[in-house]
Amino acid sequence: MDPIRNPYTPGAGAPPPELAGRDALCEQVRIALERNRIGRPAKSVLMVGLRGVGKTVLLDRMREVAEGAGIQSLRIEAPEGRSLPAILAPELRRALLRLSRNERARDLARRALRGLAGFARVLKVKYRDLEVGIDFEPEPGLADNGDLELDLQDLLEASGQAAREGGTALALFVDELQYVREIELAALIVALHRAAQRRLPVTLVGAGLPQLRGRMGKAKSYAERLFDFPEVGPLTPEAARLALEKPAGAEGVCFEEAALERIIGETQCYPYFLQEWGKHAWDMAEASPITLNDVARGAEVAIADLDASFFRVRFDRLTPSEKQYLRAMAELGPGPHRSGSIAQVLGREVQSLAPIRSHLISKGMVWSPSHGDTAFTVPLFDGFIRRMMPGADWRQP
């Protein structure tokens, strides 16, 4: 059918035509933000889930809703290798400048901007990547100790006071939080904790891979009590149906029952895969309804596309020994797998593999659902690795 009218949107962070099955989670966050705005206690929300489950599009949607309700927000993504202060400061500045246009908040927002100036000036020494426009002279003693933990507290406190005065709230939307260094995570947790104790309207809505939960707990032991960690997983079969049928229906197109069932089975209801399968089934079909045969032919292209993009970008960042480790995991199936079993496949000692495993965790390729277990963070990655590294060659050192 006409590819121009194809409604499906596979792609990192690409908003789906129908954000299926996430209403309850969106509502949970909306309530938390509104409670926060009126000074009622509300936990910050950190969404955790595997690659491609829709964390980024959820964050964006939640932010849209918050902004629409007049909440001040900022949106950042923690990339590997950059510091939290460096990515936070410019966006916080923009939020504070917007806030300073609010009559009631103006003076306190300007004070927070003076805090930001002091923050940037002293922390630039430690965080060389920290660069931010300076609108005001620093205020001596405000967020300028040179200690991230203290200064971030001051800064979020001053920002929260401004937001409260303006009758609004400040919401920090942060993606890929698992990449933030532990000491910076700790500073963020402390600052949010302080704001919560003072009933200031500052909250975090974060997203990250499943290892995030453990990292937060390691950074500050009380973090697990301070935050909610809703899991974002594959959709239910009903939601997956909706994700496929509704966008097609809007174009006057439907699916054969067997076609839908095939997609649901092959994708295991993972959102990224649903978009990919939907897109290619549509392109294969001559006319409505989309048939089982369309899906079968589309699936081949869908898998090839995933291999070339979604899976590939991850694979290319690995060293040969990391690839070999993942290949050994794939040999055992989708997982999770015991460290001992993986070592056995490789004919090595568990201990000698520990550094490789921990690199894979910090790269966000695998995580540890429980002690001694290792699982892929990318759904269906085992199949991909077997396609990439077929035969027996991979066993060679």
Ligand X SMILES: Nc1ncnc2c1ncn2[C@@H]1O[C@H](COP(=O)(O)OP(=O)(O)OP(=O)(O)O)[C@@H](O)[C@H]1O
What are the residues binding Mg ion (CB under 5 A)?
56
Of Mg ion, ligand X, none, which one does residue 53 interact with (CB within 5 to 8 Å by kind)? Answer: ligand X
Identify which of residues 48 and 122 has a Cβ nearer to ligand X in the complex.
48
Q: With contacts defined by CB under 6 A, name the span among 19-27, 282-290, 355-363, 382-390 that binds ligand X.
A: 19-27
* Residue at 151: amino acid letter: D
Least separation in angstroms between residue 335's CB and Mg ion is: 21
Characterize the bridge pairing of strands 170-175 and 72-77: parallel
Q: What residue spans of the chain are helical by DSSP H?
A: 23-37, 55-68, 84-99, 106-123, 148-165, 182-197, 211-219, 223-226, 237-249, 257-267, 271-284, 292-308, 312-315, 320-331, 339-346, 350-362, 381-388
- Distance in angstroms (rounded) separating the CA atoms of residues 324 and 370: 22
x/- track of binding to ligand X for residues 234-253 (CB under 6 A)? ---------x----------
- Whether the CA torsion 152, 158, 161, 165 is positive or negative: it is negative
- Nearest alpha-carbon partner for 48 in 223, 195, 165: 223
Q: Which of 1, 6, 20, 63 binds ligand X (CB under 6 A)?
A: 20
Q: With contacts defined by CB under 6 A, name the span among 15-23, 163-171, 330-338, 347-355 that binds ligand X.
A: 15-23
* Residue at 189: amino acid letter: I
Identify which of residues 44 and 377 has a Cβ nearer to Mg ion in the complex.
377
Least separation in angstroms between residue 234's CB and ligand X is: 10
- Distance in angstroms (rounded) separating the CA atoms of residues 11 and 51: 12
Site for ligand X contains 279 (CB under 6 A): no
Identify which of residues 115 and 271 has a Cβ nearer to ligand X in the complex.
271
Identify which of residues 202 and 243 has a Cβ nearer to ligand X in the complex.
243
- Whether the CA torsion 368, 370, 373, 376 is positive or negative: it is negative
Identify which of residues 135 and 305 has a Cβ nearer to Mg ion in the complex.
305
Give the total of residues touching ligand X (CB under 6 A).
24
Q: Under the rule (CB under 6 A), what is the footprint of ligand X?
A: 9-14, 16, 19-22, 49, 51-57, 243, 271-272, 274-275
